[in-house]
Structure 1
Amino acid sequence: MERLSGKVAIITGGARGMGAAHVRRFVEEGAKVVFTDINEEVGEKLASELGDNTLFVKHDVTDEAGWQEVIETAEAAFGPVNVLVNNAGISMSKSIFDMSVDDYKKIIDINQVSVFLGIKAVLPSMQKAEGGSIVNISSMNGIVGGAVGYTDSKFAVRGMTKAVALQVGHFGIRVNSVHPGVIETPMVTEGDAVEQIKEFAKQIPMRRMAQSEEVTNMVIFLASSESSYSTGSEFIIDGGLTAM
């Protein structure tokens, strides 16, 4: 049985990496998916591959007006939105000594403010749908410390998740955060700290990085009715790191 049959979903940062894994599985599980990214060429290619139940929209997640356009596009194509996955994000490995204010604001805008904008934009559509699930991709660094800026933004997403969950539960809208550890995605393998991350991965209790699909499994669960009584909660996928 398709676990997301009848669902209309929006997934940000969906052109590649973990976001693309989410998009593929959502379609396999019966959802109609609008996914967004700033990488238009890769996004259009994925949408073409996956067929009529997907739609790609080029979108800067920090643009408030752009969010409204994404919601309107999704409703026009597929109907009111049931699921939002706030997946888009960036990392930066600079220390506080080297990080500029502009660097810091860029991380906060993409990782934190965009989540606020997405939630605010989608709520009226979910009210029309008489319920929904918002899945905010945070990080294990929303639980424990890490790089400055990145950690700050991911803790904020965790807190925002709880605050919004309290305000929208009576509408049948659930809000949860997912906290991946070290995931083998392009953001890790092509980043400026790849060697440090490979060394760090040796310290993980499970002795490996996770695959994107392992995070997708959790996102599918939270998007589906299987998690119908879960809201305002953290779901950690870190191979045991935060247990150390």
Structure 2
Amino acid sequence: MASPAFATYPSLKDRTVFITGGASGIGATFVQAFHDQGAKAAFVDLDETAGQALAGKLGQNAWFRRCDVTDAEALQVAIDEAAKALGPITVLINNVANDTRQDPAKVTAEVWRKGLAVNLDPAFIASTAVYPMMKAAGGGSIVNLSSINAILAPGELPTYSAAKGAINALSKSLARAWGVDRIRVNALSPGWVITPRQLELWLTPQAEADWEKLTALKDRILPEDIARAALFLASDDSRMMTGQNLIVDAGRT
């Protein structure tokens, strides 16, 4: 089998993209992928060391700020600063999340609220922050990272699964509200993406074998596979797609 050749999207060149949780994992792959397309990539993360390193590697048209996305005001300020530095944001990738395993019986009200504060709230706060500039620009694309766990809802991920289910509903709601402004809002649902975090914490030979029994495609899902789907949803190639949930899970669901 020949090596695959992947698409270039001319419509993404020079667009300003804002990505939450962009310093590592899938988020860093998003930043790299959009930058490679000629877009201006702004991103935020709590990990200042990794964020600065990535921005330094990319150089021109990359912008990073340390930001706690659970602080709504700080996230709004970061979005405004990114727009001042790189131009109005017309692509938003709501990527940030935390999939720490939990025992539902031990999840306190405080832990529940903190889980939603990182897995759900930033998607709404960032979307409403970029809305005025997307409307003024004549349109834009918002991609909200969901998960197949919104459908499968494993028992050890109650807060995460609930938040991702809400992300799907939020995407449809905003798509209907903002379609008149040519702002498209879609969800992107990965399956089990093999990141350094997964390799460190949860990927064992047995877990991977069990996963492969449930999938149609037996190759590992990589961050690059999710980034390529995000590029498509952000580009004009998907101009008539909105309110949808694009699943990239090797045929698991």
Please state which band the TM-score falls in when normalised by the shorter chain: over 0.9
Q: Which moved more, 1:91-100 or 1:20-29?
A: 91-100
1:201/1:209 contact within 8 Å kept = no
Q: Does 1:116 align with 2:127?
A: no
**Kindly tell me: are residues 10 and 197 of structure 1, through their superposed partners in 2, closer, same or farther at Cα, counting changes over 3 Å?**
farther
Matched with 1:209 is 220
Matched with 1:237 is 248
Q: Hey, what's the Cα distance between the residues in 1 that align with 2:214 and 2:37?
A: 31
Q: Deviations over 1:112-161 (max 9, x none)?
A: 11111111111112112221000000001123322211110000000000
Unaligned 5+ segments in structure 2 are 1-7
Secondary structure of residue in 1 paired with 2:98:
coil
How far residue 95 of structure 1 moved from its aligned partner, in angstroms, is 2.2
Q: Does 1:198 align with 2:208?
A: yes
1:183/1:210 contact within 8 Å kept = yes
1:90/1:187 contact within 8 Å kept = no
Q: Hey, what's the Cα distance between the residues in 2 that align with 1:176 and 1:166?
A: 11
- Amino acid in the other structure paired with 1:217: R
Q: Which moved more, 1:8-17 or 1:93-102?
A: 93-102
Q: Which moved more, 1:95-104 or 1:106-115?
A: 95-104
Q: Hey, what's the Cα distance between the residues in 1 that align with 2:193 and 2:214?
A: 12
Q: Does 1:28 align with 2:36?
A: yes
* Equivalent residues in 2 for 1:83-232, closer than 5 Å: 83-146=91-154, 147-191=157-201, 193-195=202-204, 197-205=207-215, 206-232=217-243
Q: Which moved more, 1:112-121 or 1:139-148?
A: 139-148
* Equivalent residues in 2 for 1:64-75, closer than 5 Å: 64-75=72-83
- Amino acid in the other structure paired with 1:210: I
Secondary structure of residue in 2 paired with 1:11:
strand
Q: Hey, what's the Cα distance between the residues in 2 that align with 1:78 and 1:135?
A: 19
* Equivalent residues in 2 for 1:3-14, closer than 5 Å: 3=10, 4-14=12-22
Paired residue total: 241
How far residue 40 of structure 1 moved from its aligned partner, in angstroms, is 0.2
Matched with 1:61 is 69
Q: Deviations over 1:183-211 (max 9, x none)?
A: 011332233x4447435423332234300
Q: Hey, what's the Cα distance between the residues in 2 that align with 1:197 and 1:33?
A: 35
2:76/2:125 contact within 8 Å kept = no
1:2/1:28 contact within 8 Å kept = no
RMSD across aligned positions (CA): 1.5
- Amino acid in the other structure paired with 1:238: D
- Amino acid in the other structure paired with 2:227: T
Q: Hey, what's the Cα distance between the residues in 2 that align with 1:20 and 1:116?
A: 21
Matched with 1:77 is 85
Percentage of identical aligned residues: 35
Q: Which moved more, 1:57-66 or 1:223-232?
A: 57-66
Q: Hey, what's the Cα distance between the residues in 1 that align with 2:64 and 2:229?
A: 23
How far residue 6 of structure 1 moved from its aligned partner, in angstroms, is 2.4
Unaligned 5+ segments in structure 1 are none
Secondary structure of residue in 1 paired with 2:189:
strand
Displaced runs of 4+ in structure 1, greater than 4 A? none
- Amino acid in the other structure paired with 2:147: S
Secondary structure of residue in 2 paired with 1:74:
helix
How far residue 79 of structure 1 moved from its aligned partner, in angstroms, is 1.2
